[in-house]
Amino acid sequence: DTAVSQTPKYLVTQMGNDKSIKCEQNLGHDTMYWYKQDSKKFLKIMFSYNNKELIINETVPNRFSPKSPDKAHLNLHINSLELGDSAVYFCASSIGRKDTYEQYFGPGTRLTVT
């Protein structure tokens, strides 16, 4: 059984389009995250939700909007896509919001904006 799953795995789209990436975890975790990994493999947190409440919102353009319909799902919607949005986006989850908890990562979504 996949613990943290993301769809789609690959996404190729044109500049200016709007797209969504979905994430689901079946671990019963309370906290979920979105990370962006750029072409140099640098991994940076974007958002974190705990029990559907936004707890981390890093300096991310407001074209990016996370939505958590329930504890098991965290989606990422991106408006007006730009070339610089091309990256691999990882979803992760942890049992709770404490810093000592392990994060479980999904396989990533490779977004290519042309």
Partner 1 sequence: AQSVTQPDIHITVSEGASLELRCNYSYGATPYLFWYVQSPGQGLQLLLKYFSGDTLVQGIKGFEAEFKRSQSSFNLRKPSVHWSDAAEYFCAVGLNTGFQKLVFGTGTRLLVSP
Q: Which residues are near partner 1 by CB under 8 A?
A: 4, 31, 33, 40-45, 48, 50, 55-56, 90, 92, 94, 97-108
C-beta of residue 90 within 8 angstroms of C-beta of residue 47 = no
The encoded tokens of residue 73 equal 């799902």
CB of 69 to partner 1, least distance (A): 21
Nearer to partner 1, 70 or 102 (CB): 102
CB of 70 to partner 1, least distance (A): 19
Count of beta carbons in the 10 Å neighbourhood of residue 113: 19
d(CA 46, CA 24): 17
Shortest approach of partner 1 to residue 104 CB, angstroms? 8
